[in-house]
Structure 1
Amino acid sequence: MKRVHIMGIEGVGMSALARLLLAEGVGVTGCDLAPGKRARALGVPVHAGHDPAHLGDEDTLVVPTPVPLDHPEVAAARERGLRVLRRMELLARLLEGRPSLGVTGTHGKTTTTGMLASILLAAGLDPWVLLGGELSLLPGNARYGLGPRLAEVDESDPLFQEVRVEVAVATNLEADHVAPPGKKAPNYHGSFGELKAALRGFLEKARLAVVPASDPLLEELSRGLPRRTFGEGGELQAVGVEFGPTGSRFLLTLEGRPLGEAVLQVPGRHNVQNALAAALAALALGVEAEAILEGLARFPGVGRRFQRVGEVRGAWVVDDYAHHPTEVRATLEAAKPLGRRIRVLFQPHRLLRTQALWPEFVEALALAQEVVVLPTYTAGEKGEASPEELSARIAEGLRQKGVAARLLGKEEALAYARDTAAPEDLWLTLGAGDVTELAWRLAHEG
């Protein structure tokens, strides 16, 4: 590859690939339906929209998962003889033949990858990193280095099973990114069975699988493979965990032998599990315990993972990417030790996910004292119910459980949060769409 054109280059994963290709001396151009700060920061030609006219003298076209392969720009590239690669096919090529680690799972993969990046940096290993989020230590969502290659491997893409790494970490697995019966989409698995088979395929290509000991599904999917386990019942454990409002500390033990005290700057029980996954993967790569503990202590958190962005009228404003019921529940439980009234601006993400999981969202959001539900962020999907109808189901379900809830548009929600904020509050913005803008506007406007 000498010159590459990347469709959807504003996306966090695609822009990370662009950064890494540029660092290797590959020429990059791109296009996106909504080019923004990530695309501009690359300093390369980026077109708005998708059109065959964007193609120039490139030899390769990189296509994000949601774009169908019969898209006019893809068809034009093939007619011109360009190599067409899906993002996972490109990632597989970049990892090929190198010391490598890959992290996948429904929840926690970005944070676990970020923790691993921090550990590898503390060990002085000059890692190459691809991350599905922003990490100040890199900085940004990618880092070029000559050491081991570390990648977040997105399980939502059915092609992730073709990625080969030395150490494969699976944090957990749930039936997310699974298409409803009778529906198909390139960024959805056809069934939960297909997703499980894909994860098995990813794990069995690795030299070693790293999985949680207490997860029956991952125990089954990794059975018969070389593996190491973490968490309750595993070889690497957190003993005597002390939870604080903004982090935790615990004794890290390997097969009962103390390795030292681990201190985390990020809150919640789920982040202890993420730290154990990262630590065990690092041990499997040969990293010393001292560097692991230093890397975990240095880890500041990934952008949009319980990220405090400021205050409004004395209320804290915290932004989080949680967009699945399990993630929402974990985030709200992590917020409890702060001792503040938890008020949520929640933006459901994707029509198919929300249609399937809205009752579970109700159960998870019921941990908050108040919830403002925004219209569902469609991410380009079309469904039988409208974005407003799906969100209204969640708001009504919460009201039936006795939780103060309302359905508001973005601007109405922003005004309501600003006008009613009080010093004892925590305003928490949740979702994978553009709700993050409301967090920053709430904290920094007016």
Structure 2
Amino acid sequence: MRKAHIMGIEGVGMSALARLLMAEGVAVTGCDLAPGPRARRLGVPVHHGHDPGHLADEDTLVVPTPVPPDHPEVVEARKRGLRVLRRMELLAHFLAQRPSAGVTGTHGKTTTTGMLAAILLEAGLDPWVFLGGELALLPGNARPGRGPRVAEVDESDPLFREVRVSVAVATNLEADHVAPRGERAPNYHESLEALKEAMRGFLAGAKTVVVPAMDPGLLALTEGLPRRLFGPGGEVWAEAVDLSPSGASFRLVHREGPLGEVHLRVPGRHNVHNALAAALAALALGASPEAISRGLSRFPGVGRRFERVGEVGGAWVVDDYAHHPTEVQATLEAALLSGRRVRVFFQPHRLLRTQELWEAFAQALKGAHEVVVLPVYTAGERGRESPEALSDRIAKRLEDLGRPARRMDKEEALAYARATARPEDLLLFMGAGDVTLLARRLVHEG
């Protein structure tokens, strides 16, 4: 590969791939419907929108998962004889070149990958890292390195089953990125069984499989594979866990003896789970116990994972990427540890997901003191109901459950948050879409 054109280059995964290609001497150009700061930081030519005319003297086109094979830019690339690579195919190529670890799962994969990267950095192993988020320990969302290759492997892409790594980590597995019956999309599995089959394919290709000891579904799925288990009943576990509003402390224990004290700087019991997964994967890659405890304690958190972005009117403003009911509930539980009045501004993500999980979202949110539901961030999807109607349904269900809730558009929600923020509040902006911009506008516009 000499020169690559990357579609959707503003996306966190595509910009990370661009950065890693550039580190290997590949010239990069790109395009995006909404080029922004990630693309600008790359310092490469980026076109606005998608058009066959963007292609010049590139020899490779790199395509994100949602782009269909009949897209005009893809069709033109094939017509010219360019090599066309899906995002996951390029990642698989990178990971096959050296000892590697791939982290997947419905929840926690970005944080777990970041934790593993922090450990390997502390161990002096010079890791190569691909991450679906921003980590202060890295130059953004990727890091070239000569040591083990560590990557977040997104299970939403059915092609992930073909990725081959030395150590495969599965944090958990739930029915997310599963298309409703009768509907199809490139970044959805046809059924839960298809998702499980893809997960089995990914895990079966690894030399070592790391999964939670307390997850019956993953235990059944990995039967007969060379697996190592974490959590109660596994090879490593946490003792004397102390959860606080700002993090968690625990004693990391291996079945052969203590590995050290860990003081996480990210809150929530779910992050103890993520830390155990990262610790066992790091052991499999040769990291020392000292590096593991120090690396986990040094981990600052990934951007948009319970990220406190500032204050307004004395209220804390927290931004979080949670977009599945289990993630929403875990994030809300971490927020409630603060002792503050937790007011959630929730933006459901993707129409097909919300059509399937709207009731589960309402149940996950019912522990909040108040919920404002924003219209669904469609990510280009079309569904049976409008974004507003689906959000109305969640808000009305929350009211039925006895929780103050209402639907507002983004500007209404921003004005409402600004007018009603109190020093005892924690304003929690949740979702994988552009709700993050509201949190930052609230802080910076006052």
State the TM-score, normalized to the length of structure 2: 0.99
Aligned to 2:308: 308
Secondary structure, counterpart of 1:345 in structure 2: strand
Aligned to 1:392: 392
Counterpart of 2:28 in structure 1 is 28
Aligned to 2:439: 439
CA distance in 2, matches of 1:166, 1:107: 21
Q: Which residue of 1 aligns with 2:6?
A: 6
Name 1:142's counterpart in structure 2. Answer: 142
Q: Give the C-alpha shift of residue 288 in structure 1.
A: 0.3
User: Partner amino acid for 1:396?
Assistant: K
C-alpha distance in 2 between matches for 1:32 and 1:266? 33
Match of 2:409 in 1: 409
User: Which secondary structure does the structure 2 equivalent of 1:319 belong to?
Assistant: strand
Query: Residues of 2 paired with 1:117 and 1:423: CA distance?
Result: 36
- The TM-score normalised by the length of structure 1 is 0.99
- In the alignment, the residues of structure 1 paired with residue 303 and residue 443 of structure 2 have an alpha-carbon distance, to the nearest angstrom, of 16
1:188 maps to which residue? 188
C-alpha distance in structure 2 between counterparts of 1:41 and 1:240, whole Å: 43
Give secondary structure in 1 for the equivalent of 2:429. strand
Distance (whole Å) between structure 1 residues aligned to residue 23 and residue 344 of structure 2: 40
* Structure 1 counterpart of 2:91, one-letter code: L
Q: Tell me, in whole angstroms, the C-alpha distance in 1 between the residues paired with 2:357 and 2:185.
A: 18
d(CA) in 2 for partners of 1:438, 1:33: 20
1:15 aligns with 2:15: yes
* Residues 100-150 of structure 1, C-alpha deviations (whole Å, 9 max, x = no match): 000000000000000001001000111100000000000210001111100
Secondary structure of the residue that 1:165 maps to in structure 2? coil
Q: How far 1:233 moved relative to its partner?
A: 1.2
Deviations 1:388-428 (A, max 9, x none): 00000000001111111111111110010110010000000
- Please show how residues 112-191 of structure 1 align to structure 2 within 5 Å: 112-191=112-191
* CA distance in 2: counterparts of 1:339 and 1:186, whole angstroms: 42
1:323 aligns with 2:326: no
Q: Could you tell me which amino acid in structure 2 is paired with residue 206 of structure 1?
A: A
Q: What one-letter code is carried by the residue in structure 1 that aligns with 2:283?
A: L
1:248 partnered with 2:248: yes
CA distance in 1 between counterparts of 2:378 and 2:321 reads: 16
Distance 2:259 2:6 in 1: 44
Q: Where does 1:17-56 land on structure 2 (aligned, <5 Å)?
A: 17-56=17-56
Residues 219-298 of structure 1 mapped to structure 2, 5 A cutoff: 219-255=219-255, 257-298=257-298
Distance, in Å, in 1 between the alignment partners of 2:391 and 2:100 is 41
Cα distance in structure 1, aligned partners of 2:64 and 2:441: 30
Letter in 1 for 2:292: I
Distance in 1 between the 2:99 and 2:436 partners?
A: 35
Size of the aligned set, in residue pairs, is 446
1-structure distance, mates of 2:33, 2:359: 32
Give the C-alpha shift of residue 256 in structure 1: 5.3
The 5 A counterparts of 1:98-117 are 98-117=98-117
SS in 2 for 1:141: strand
SS at 2:53's partner residue? helix
Match of 1:208 in 2: 208
SS in 1 for 2:134: coil
Q: Matches of 2:12 and 2:141 in 1, distance apart?
A: 7
Superposition deviation, residue 36 in structure 1 = 0.8
List structure 1 runs of 4+ shifted beyond 6 angstroms: none
Question: Corresponding residue for 1:93?
Answer: 93
- TM-fit CA distance, 1:183: 0.8
Name the amino acid aligned to 1:434. D
Cα deviation, residue 97, structure 1: 3.0
Q: Distance in 2 between matches of 1:221 and 1:139?
A: 36
The code of the aligned residue for 1:24 comes to E
Q: Which amino acid letter does the alignment assign opposite residue 36 of structure 1?
A: G
| 3-state secondary structure, aligned to 1:151 | strand
Give SS of 2:44's match.
coil
Identify the residue that residue 374 of structure 2 maps to in structure 1.
Answer: 374
- In structure 2, stretches of 5+ residues that fail to align are none
Residue 244 of structure 1 and its aligned partner are, at CA, apart by 1.1
Whole-Å separation in 2 of the counterparts to 1:259 and 1:119: 13
1:339 counterpart = 2:339: yes
Structure-2 separation of matches of 1:318 and 1:250: 24
1:197 maps to what in 2? 197
Identity of aligned residues (%): 74
Q: CA RMSD in A?
A: 0.6
Letter in 1 for 2:425: D
Q: Take 1:302 and 1:333, find their aligned partners in 2: how far apart are those partners?
A: 18
CA distance in 2, matches of 1:325, 1:97: 36
Q: Structure 1: where are the runs of 5+ without partners?
A: none
